[in-house]
Every structure is written in structure tokens, then in C-alpha cells.
Amino acid sequence: MPDDQQRPLGRRAFPERRSSTHGAHAAGLRWARRTRMRRRYSTGALALAGALAVVAVTALPAAAGPWVDRTTGSLRGDPVYVDPSAKPTLAPAAAGQVRARIARTGTPVFVAVLPRQALAEAGGSAGRLAALVAGSLGRPGTYLVVAGGKQGAGSDTLGQGEAAGLAGSAFQRHRGDLRGAVLDFVGRVDRAAGVPATTAPAAPAPGQEAAARETGLQLVLVFALLAALAVFASIAAKHLGSRRGVRLGHEVAEVRALVEEDLRALGDDLRDLDVDLRAVEAERPRAVSQYTRAYEQLERASDAFEKATTVEDMAPVSSALESGRFAMDAARTMFEGRDPPRRRPPCFFDTRHGTSVDDVGWEPPTGPPRPVPACSACMQSIASGIQPQARRVRAGGRMMPFYDAPPHFESWFGGYFGGAAADLVAGFPLGKALDDGYVGGLNTFGGGYGHVPVSYADTGILDSGGAMMGEHESEAGTVTIQEDPDVDQSAGER
């Protein structure tokens, strides 16, 4: 007979697919190079942000320390403050004379006598310390601070630098006499304040110009710091996004490798079912119809596989493979002259075993026993006291039983078992992922995407999942039966 007459109707050669090992290795090398570059960029951005943060913090105006705070608190109610630990110091009587002299002036004057330790809050500068006290008190006037024998002065009522000059003259004249120097300074300020403003232009408050410069620098550095942090955040986000993309890519590659095994298995089994369709078409038209449908479902699964970009896209592939394998099993039995099988789920232990023949009690390594659909070979194995070998999948670089697989395998498994998937693997990692349904199926609660869940096993209804077609009573209660819109509901009616 010519070769073209021996070719099965609707038969499509399953294309050979190149192993993904080489591609995965190359992708891993590219990812490693990108990771090293991103680490360098991230490290540089982090160092820049840290440096700017340090500079910004150090450039901020010095915060008021305990000596400045204590002095300011006293000057709010008394223009003269003498710290008990100050040396040299003003005796109470001398401090009273200074207060009396300040009361007779026509301009505000504030005097503080502090210990040498207070200079540490101003970097050792008595003039800077006077500016800090003036800034903290926030009142206009002339300020004199004597700390450890060093004097500093400033004013916003006298000419710029004039207060410091008056203090220098007074303390030079009364060397070693703190009372006389302070009284002389107050008198000089009183006299200087009486000069017309035209000859003595008003000066900014002590430290005002320096504070303005520091404020401007602070703003510039803060904006620079924010910009650096924005750049760093952008790089970090891209880096994290890249790492997530690599992880998702690994997950897709693991599930694709598993689904590709399923595709190859169905294609090989169909090729092994070598039938002269032209010779038997007239005698067994229903068997030919199922045989042709098996190839159509394999082609549908192959097309969906080629288009799949996420793990969720694998559910329709699994569903088409399940439907195609059932059609192949039905065709085989009818070619052999036997009754077609009931529409049941695939074998739980390995979907490549084909359509299950009944439910069997399974005692998993952990968790309670449960009924699962099993093929004839797995049922005989359990009857002999031997647990069937569950299919093993590769995840994270190691092999494991499919029920211990991580969550990204849920759509692959759910595509075969739909709403019953979670109950079949309850208590296992895959079951926890399926507790809330899975992505990729049409109806993941109580009905699948091309199969009948285990709860339908005793109904005897020959359906294949899909659109709603009614309800049926069983020992499990009321279940919803679904139909595939392109398939007749009975394999035996083909």
C-alpha cells in the first residue's frame, strides 16, 4: 500500500525541540555579568549617597548644646547670667553692678559668664558661642560671653564687628579685672548705640550671615542628597526587578521542561499506536474520530506551549494534553474491539500513564490517606502492597515528588485535575498553593479546564470539562458537570 495511504488522518508529526540546557547556561552567564555590573553601580550609588549624607549632616548649623540652652534659659529673665562653675567669675555683688549699669543703658545688653567647657559647643570660639546664644535667645541687642577668660561679642544694634572691637578694648584696658572689663564694655556699648545710624549702619544679628550661608549650603546638599538617593533607589529597584525577572525565568524554565516531557510522551504514544486508518475507517468510524481528535488536542497543546510565557500559561497545555490522552486511550480500546473507557481523570501518580480506571486508597508518606484516581498498573501495584512511584519533577536544582513541588507548578497540575487538584495534594506544598485555586483554568473550583475532577468518578457521565451543561447527584453531593464545546460528550458515540 502506498505510504500516503498509511498515513493516519489528522496525524501531525510532533516537532523535535532543542534541549534548553545550553540556552539556560548561556542565560545564566549573561545574568551573572549583569548582576556584577549592577552590584558595582549599586555600590557606587550607595557610597555617593552615604558621603552626601555625612557632608549634609556635618554642614548643618550646630545644634544648641546644654551650655547654650542653660544660658538662654537664664537670660530670658535676667540680662546677666553667671554660671557657678565659671572661672574667672563675677561675684554676686559685681554681677549686681553689671545689671544696674545695663538697666541705665538705652539698648539691650546681655552678659554671660561661663566655664571653659562651654567653648566646645562653638568649636573653641567665644565669638561663635555668643552668636549661638543670641540665635537661641532670638532677641535683638548686644551679647557678651566670657568663657574661661576668653571673651566674644556680637550685636545687631551696632555696626558690623563693632561689638567685638568694643569688647577687645574693654578687656585690654582692664586686664585681669573681669568686673571692670564687663562694666567698661556695657558703657562703651551704651555710648556707641547713641551714634546716628548713618555713621553706624546696623549690622546683622550675631552669626546671621554665617547662618544664612550654612542654610543655603544645607539646602543645596539636601537636594543633592535627595537626587543621589533617587538614583540609588532607581538602581536598586531595577536590580531587584532584574533578580525577580531571573527568578521567574527559572520558574518558567522548570515548568516548561516538565510540560515538554508531557508533550513528547503523548506524541510518542500516538506514534506507537500505528493504525491503518483507511483500512478501519469504515469498520470503526468512532475509533478513527477519537484517534484524529487525539492528534488535534496534541496540536492544540503544542501551539499553547509555544505561546506560553508564564507558568500560568501552562494550564491550558495540560488540559489539552489530558483531553488528547483520553481520546487516544478511547481510540485504542475501540480499535481492539473493547468498550470505550469512562470519562475519568488521568492517573494521579503520573498523568502520562493515561486515563484512570478507578479510585484507589493512597497512603502518602505524610498526611492522611485519601482516594486518588489510578491507572490499571498503579492499582495492581497498590493491591500488591507496593506504593507506585510518583512522578518526580526538577525544582531548584533537585528532583522531588510532584506533590512536594513549589507553587509555580500549580497551574501545570491544576490543568490536569482542575477543582479537585487541591484535595488530591492537600497537606503538601503543592496543595497549599492550590488552596485558593490556580491561574490558567476556566473554572478552578468544582470543574476543570478539560477533565473531570475525582468527585465525578462515580457519576458515569462521559464528559470532558468546559462549558456548563447541568448537575448530577452523586455520593459526594450535587456536582456540576461541564462539557467541552468542541467535543461530543461520549467517547463511545464517536
Give me the mean pLDDT over the 286-308 stretch. Answer: 90
At 42 the pLDDT is 46
Q: What are the distances in angstroms from CA 118 to CA 111, 114, 333?
A: 15, 7, 101
pLDDT tens, position by position, 393-405: 998 889 999 988 8
**Residues belonging to the chain:** 494
The more confidently predicted of residues 212 and 25 is 212
What is the arithmetic mean of pLDDT over 42-46? 47
Q: Is residue 325 predicted with pLDDT exceeding 50? A: yes
Please check the confidence at residue 61 and state whether its pLDDT lies above 60: no
Q: What percent of the chain has pLDDT over 70?
A: 66
pLDDT band at 455 (very low <50, low <70, confident <90, very high): very low
Question: Residue 41 has what pLDDT?
Answer: 44
Comparing 211-225, 301-315, 477-491, the range with the smallest average pLDDT is 477-491
What CA–CA distance (Å, rounded) separates 114 from 102? 19
- Least reliable range by pLDDT among 171-185, 196-210, 340-354, 411-425: 196-210
pLDDT digits (tens, 9 = 90+) for 166-225: 999 999 999 989 999 999 999 999 999 874 433 334 444 444 555 556 677 778 888 888
At residue 421, the pLDDT reads 80
pLDDT value for 90: 92
Average pLDDT in the chain:
74
Average pLDDT over residues 71-78: 92
Over the stretch 230-266, which tens digit does the pLDDT of each residue have?
Answer: 877 777 666 666 665 666 688 889 999 999 999 999 9
**pLDDT at residue 279, rounded to an integer:** 64
Residue 283 has pLDDT above 80, yes or no: no
